[in-house]
C-alpha cells in the first residue's frame, strides 16, 4: 500500500496538487483517444521524421508543405497504399499526427513546470516528489517509444509492429493508472491501521488485471488489423473456434501474430472481464435479501412472552431487577397495570423474606385492576 502523502501537506497544497494531477490525467486520457483516432484515420505514418524540439512548428508556407510531402512520398505507405495522393489529402492525415505529437509535448510541459514549482516551494514531501519525478521519466520514455513504433512502419512494410504498438499503449495505460493512483491517494487518504479485507481486495485486483489484459490484447488487434477477420458474433464465422487458429510454429506465435487467434483472444478476454465485473454485484444484490446475510447481523428470534398471570402465580421466579414492563394498554387499564406491577414487587419481596418457611401467600389482586396480558422484559 502506498503511503498517505496528504499527512504532510496542508489543505491548500493538497487541493492545488490534486487539481494539477487531475488535469494531467485528463490530458493523458485525451492523448489515448487521439491516438486511437490517428490510428483509425491512417495518419500515424504521415510524419516520417521526429524532431522533439523544432518539430513543434508545422509547415508555414507552400514550399515547406512541398518539402514535407516529398519526404512522405518516399515512404512505403505512400508507395504501397496512398499512391497518387495529392497535397490536400496529405494535409488531412498530417494534421492528426501533428496534433497527437503536439498534445504529447503539451503534457510534458503541463507536468514538468508545476512539478518544479511545487517542488521548489516545498509543497511536496520527498516520497511524493520522487514518485512524480519517476512519472515524468516514464513520460519521456513514452515519447521515445512512440517514435520507435512509427519507425517500424517506415522501412519495408507500411505497418507498424504490433509488438511496439502494444508496448506504446501499455506504457500509456501504466502512466495513466500510476498518476490516477497518486491523485486518489491525495483526495481520499486511507484511514490508518484499517486494511481492506483480503477477499474483496484480491477480487478487485483480479478484475482490474482482466481489464488491463483486455486493453493490451486490443493493442495486438489494432496492430494486426485483426478486427476485420470475422464480423460475426459470438461465432467465428460458422464455428465457435477459429479454423486456422493454431497454424503458426512455434505455437506461442499464434497468440500474437495469428489474426484469427488474436481476435478470438480479445473477444474471450472481453467476455471474461464483463462476467468478472458484474458477478459480485449480482451475487451481492441477490444475497442481501436473505435475513442474516450481512456479517454481524443476527437472525430474527422469537421470545416467549411472560404474562402477568404467570408472574402472579410464581412470584419467586421474578428477578429482583425485573422492573421494566412493556404495555400496549391505554387509559384506565394502564393505571391498573401499574398497580398490578407494584403488587407483584411487594409479593416478590415477601416471598424472598419468608425463605424456607413455606410458600408465600399470593397478594390479592388490587381493586379496579383489570386482567391484562403484559410482556415482561427480563
Burial (0-12, 13-18, 19+ Cβ within 10 Å), 344 = buried
Q: Where are the alpha helices (DSSP H) in the chain?
A: 11-40, 62-73, 76-80, 87-120, 126-151, 162-187, 198-224, 254-257, 259-287, 308-313, 332-354
> Mean pLDDT across the chain, nearest whole number?
80
Beta strands 375-376; 325-326: pairing state:
antiparallel
Give me the mean pLDDT over the 355-360 stretch. Answer: 45
- Decide if 269 contacts 251 (C-beta within 8 A): no
- Decide if 223 contacts 150 (C-beta within 8 A): no
* pLDDT of 332 above 90: no
At residue 89, the pLDDT reads 94
Give me the mean pLDDT over the 75-89 stretch. Answer: 93
| From 22-31, 60-69, 134-143, 274-283, the region with the lowest mean pLDDT | 274-283
Residue 326: beta bridge partners? 375
Could you give the CA distance from residue 213 to residue 196 in angstroms, rounded to a whole number?
Answer: 24
Residue 334: which pLDDT band, with cuts at 50, 70 and 90? low
* pLDDT of 365 above 60: no
- DSSP letters along 64-80, please? HHHHHHHHHHTSHHHHH
At residue 292, the pLDDT reads 56
HEC profile of 181-238: HHHHHHHCCCCCCCCCCHHHHHHHHHHHHHHHHHHHHHHHHHHHCHHHCCCCCCCECC
This model's pTM is above 0.75: no
Please give the grid coordinates belonging to residue 233.
458474433
* pLDDT of 171 above 90: yes
At residue 195, the pLDDT reads 58
Residue 325: beta bridge partners? 376
Residue position matching grid coordinates 491525495: 186
Q: In this predicted model, what pLDDT tens digit does every residue of 272-282 receive, in sequence order?
A: 999 998 887 77
Give me the mean pLDDT over the 78-89 stretch. Answer: 93
Residue position matching grid coordinates 422469537: 302
Give me the mean pLDDT over the 153-175 stretch. Answer: 93
Nearest alpha-carbon partner for 112 in 132, 130, 142, 141: 132
At residue 289, the pLDDT reads 63
Q: In this predicted model, what pLDDT tens digit does every residue of 200-247 receive, in sequence order?
A: 778 888 899 999 999 999 999 999 999 888 989 988 888 899 888 888
Q: In this predicted model, what pLDDT tens digit does every residue of 295-327 receive, in sequence order?
A: 555 555 555 444 444 444 455 555 554 444 444
Q: In this predicted model, what pLDDT tens digit does every residue of 115-140 receive, in sequence order?
A: 999 999 988 888 899 999 999 999 99
Question: How many CA within 13 A on the CB side of residue 234?
Answer: 4
Residue 293: which pLDDT band, with cuts at 50, 70 and 90? low
Rounded percentage of the chain residues whose pLDDT exceeds 90: 51
Amino acid at each position: 500500500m502506498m503511503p498517505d502523502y496528504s499527512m504532510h501537506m496542508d489543505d491548500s497544497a493538497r487541493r492545488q496538487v490534486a487539481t494539477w494531477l487531475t488535469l494531467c490525467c485528463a490530458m493523458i486520457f485525451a492523448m489515448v483517444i487521439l491516438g486511437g483516432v490517428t490510428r483509425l484515420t491512417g495518419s500515424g505514418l504521415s510524419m516520417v521524421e521526429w524532431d522533439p524540439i523544432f518539430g513543434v512548428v508545422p509547415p508555414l508556407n507552400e514550399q515547406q508543405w512541398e518539402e514535407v510531402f516529398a519526404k512522405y512520398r518516399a515512404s512505403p505507405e505512400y508507395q504501397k497504399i496512398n499512391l497518387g495522393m495529392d497535397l490536400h489529402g496529405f494535409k488531412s492525415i498530417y494534421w492528426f499526427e501533428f496534433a497527437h505529437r503536439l498534445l504529447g509535448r503539451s503534457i510534458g510541459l503541463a507536468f514538468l513546470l508545476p512539478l518544479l514549482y511545487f517542488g521548489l516551494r516545498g509543497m511536496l514531501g520527498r516520497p511524493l516528489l520522487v514518485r512524480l519525478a519517476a512519472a515524468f521519466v516514464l513520460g519521456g520514455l513514452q515519447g521515445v517509444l512512440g517514435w520507435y513504433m512509427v519507425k517500424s512502419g517506415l522501412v519495408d512494410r507500411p505497418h507498424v509492429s504490433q509488438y511496439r504498438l502494444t508496448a506504446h499503449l501499455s506504457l500509456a495505460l501504466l502512466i495513466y493508472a500510476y498518476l490516477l493512483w497518486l491523485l486518489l491517494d491525495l483526495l481520499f487518504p486511507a484511514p490508518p491501521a484499517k486494511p481492506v479485507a483480503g477477499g474483496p481486495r484480491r477480487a478487485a485486483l483480479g478484475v482490474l488485471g482482466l481489464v488491463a489484459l483486455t486493453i493490451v490484447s486490443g493493442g495486438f488487434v489494432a496492430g494486426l488489423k485483426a478486427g476485420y477477420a470475422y464480423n460475426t458474433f459470438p461465432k467465428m464465422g460458422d464455428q465457435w473456434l477459429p479454423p486456422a487458429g493454431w497454424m503458426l510454429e512455434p505455437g506461442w506465435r499464434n497468440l500474437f501474430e495469428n489474426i484469427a487467434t488474436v481476435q478470438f483472444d480479445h473477444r474471450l478476454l472481453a467476455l471474461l472481464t464483463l462476467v468478472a465485473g458484474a458477478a459480485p454485484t449480482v451475487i451481492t444484490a441477490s444475497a442481501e435479501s436473505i435475513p442474516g446475510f450481512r456479517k454481524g447481523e443476527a437472525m430474527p428470534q422469537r421470545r416467549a412472552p411472560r404474562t402477568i398471570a404467570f408472574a402472579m402465580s410464581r412470584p419467586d421466579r421474578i428477578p429482583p431487577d425485573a422492573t421494566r414492563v412493556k404495555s400496549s394498554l391505554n387509559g384506565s387499564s394502564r393505571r391498573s397495570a401499574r398497580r398490578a406491577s407494584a403488587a407483584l414487587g411487594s409479593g416478590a419481596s415477601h416471598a424472598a423474606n419468608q425463605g424456607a418457611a413455606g410458600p408465600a401467600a399470593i397478594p390479592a389482586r388490587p381493586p379496579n385492576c383489570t386482567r391484562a396480558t403484559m410482556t415482561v422484559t427480563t
